[in-house]
Chains A and B, each alone.
Chain A
Amino acid sequence: KQEVTQIPAALSVPEGENLVLNCSFTDSAIYNLQWFRQDPGKGLTSLLLIQSSQREQTSGRLNASLDKSSGRSTLYIAASQPGDSATYLCAVHTGGFKTIFGAGTRLFVKA
């Protein structure tokens, strides 16, 4: 059974700091891995999607990596800003209807 774990559960950093969020999964048989951002009252927004055959994806200050063999993904946020404060969720798509979500990392960036 696929399980997705995110560490840490919460993180507080000063503005401008570079940071890494971690996601681990137990089964390497995946179609893709997505990182979402969740803001209160606004649902989930997809940030980056890494296909099974890819190693990383970049969008602006965000970079996500995928290492299937070790069951790990990281989301790197460069030069963090207060507007980056949100909960970040990792989700693994295992095919068909199944997408398994982690519990998320709650990020607070202090001005």
Chain B
Amino acid sequence: DADVTQTPRNRITKTGKRIMLECSQTKGHDRMYWYRQDPGLGLQLIYYSFDVKDINKGEISDGYSVSRQAQAKFSLSLESAIPNQTALYFCATSDGTGATDTQYFGPGTRLTVL
């Protein structure tokens, strides 16, 4: 089984709808992240969480919210989806060990907002 899983893998929704993307991990890491990837651009950080009680905004958090339900679960919500939120969304985890800190990624969710 994959260490980091994301559901759904693909989602098509309409403008104005609220949707939730879910992420689960079995690596036992405290740190979790949500990124979005747009064609031709690097990954951009939406939110990050260093533990269950520590949630922080990334560089592009407007229009998004998150919930850290447990160490293993980190959900991303789009409160009112808009077409420019169409992108590939990745969840990631890391163990936060400084110079050897490695990020482990889920398979991604491809979201289309019509």
Residue of B48, B90, B103, B107 with highest tally of chain A CB at under 10 A: B103
Q: How many B residues are at the interface, by size bracket?
A: 20 to 34
The reply to whether B99 and A53 contact each other, CB–CB distance below 8 Å, is yes
Tally A residues with Cβ within 8 Å of B. Answer: 27
**Do A46 and B103 touch (CB < 8 A)?**
yes
Given A4-B42, A104-B42, A43 contacting B108 (CB threshold 8 A): yes
0/1 string, B32-66, CB within 8 A of A gives 1 = 01000000111101001010000010100000000
A-contact bits for B83-114, CB 8 A (1 contact / 0 none): 00000001010000011111111111000000
User: A43-B108, A97-B56 in contact; A49/B43 too (CB < 8 A)?
Assistant: no
- In chain A between 50 and 104, which residues have their CB closer than 8 angstroms to a CB of chain B? 51-53, 89, 91, 93, 97-104
Contact: A42 with B104, CB < 8 Å? Answer: no
User: In whole Å, how far is B38's beta carbon from the nearest beta carbon of chain A?
Assistant: 9
B47 CB to nearest chain A CB (Å): 10
Tell me the nearest residue of chain B to A4, going by C-beta: B42
Can you list 24 A-B pairs with a CB-CB distance of less than 8 A? A9-B40, A31-B101, A34-B102, A36-B105, A43-B105, A43-B108, A44-B90, A44-B105, A45-B105, A46-B102, A46-B103, A46-B104, A49-B100, A49-B102, A51-B99, A52-B99, A89-B42, A91-B103, A93-B101, A97-B45, A97-B56, A100-B42, A101-B43, A103-B41
Interface of B toward A, CB cutoff 8 Å:
4, 9, 31, 33, 40-43, 45, 48, 50, 56, 58, 90, 92, 98-108
Which A residues have a C-beta under 8 Å from some C-beta of B?
4, 9, 31-32, 34, 36, 41-46, 49, 51-53, 89, 91, 93, 97-104
